[in-house]
Amino acid sequence: MRERRRGGTYLDESDVPPPPKEEFVDPTQDDFFKANARHSDPHTSHDAARSLSPDKLRDSQKAVLGHFRKFGPMTDTDLVNMYVGPPQSRSGLRTRRSELAGRGLIEDTGARKRLPTGRNAIVWRAVRRTPQRND
């Protein structure tokens, strides 16, 4: 089936590139959570990147994770509207939640909540910690 585009040219299935392949990122790789700074960034950015490690959470991440643990499952919109803690922007809160999800500390519950806009939002929750046994 051909579809007319602006300018009078036609597209068909052979003109459309295939979707990008999904890449699996192994969280056990050393550089998976590596903080980076651009070459053009000031030395303070490079110092900050070197100070981060994958096993340490930043205070901003701890605050968001603590919020999920205290109040339970919520959408990003709920998080933004309910958040009480060290000052963070709306986009910063969503970014911290995304970082925590990437580290396996926050997960998608599978539930969706309808927002006032009519769109559905993912309901996120803190991952339950399993006690480690010392054998």
Picking from 70, 107, 66, 101, the residue whose alpha carbon sits closest to that of residue 86 is 66
Q: Which domains, from first to last, does the chain contain? A: 22-56 (no CATH), 57-129 (1.10.10.10)
- Is the pTM for the entire model greater than 0.75? no
What is residue 122's predicted lDDT score, i.e. its pLDDT?
A: 96
CA 98-31-35 angle, to 5 degrees, is 55
- Residues 61-97: tens digit of each pLDDT: 999 999 999 999 999 999 999 998 889 999 999 999 9
Picking from 69, 41, 72, 36, the residue whose alpha carbon sits closest to that of residue 52 is 36
Torsion, CA 115, CA 119, CA 120, CA 121, rounded to 10: -70
Question: Average pLDDT in the 23-33 region?
Answer: 44
